[in-house]
Amino acid sequence: PRRALGFTGLVVIYEIRGGNEIAKPVDRLFADQLGLSDPGLHETALANLRARFDASALAEPLRGEAVAVLEGPNAAALLLIPELLRGDQAVSAFIAKNGALIVAPTPNDGDWGALKSIEAAKKSPYGPPLKITKFGSGPLPENGSRGSRHL
């Protein structure tokens, strides 16, 4: 089972990890053996991500102090469960080619140019920058705009 992740071009692939953290992909046969439909598998995966998410990984970007690199479950959790952000919290993010999520503070002055210039650089190892709020993720707003309430 697979699921597209919105406009990002990413695809959610499910895996199960044993005590030794070796990942085994979950195919339809294995999901059936677990008694999970596609929606049930997705909800189970989200519950596991919520339980494993380390909110401290976002502390510095949310305070506007530094960039953080999220990998594995933390990166997936932020993209799949944006409601982990509270209230008006927002971060900017780049999806690196290696699957890591580079999380940066949102600009206080509404000038998104610096973040957009990273993507424009030749041979950038990053995908397009995103703005993530508790409502979801989307492209960065235009300069001078804080974006819609929903992103």
Task: Write out the chain's pLDDT in tens, 151 residues.
Answer: 889 888 777 888 898 877 777 788 899 999 999 899 999 999 999 999 999 899 999 999 999 988 999 988 888 899 999 999 999 999 999 888 888 899 999 887 878 887 777 777 667 777 778 899 999 988 887 654 554 444 4
Sign of the dihedral through C-alpha 91, 92, 96, 99 = positive
Give the residue among 78, 72, 100 at the shortest CA–CA distance from 91.
78
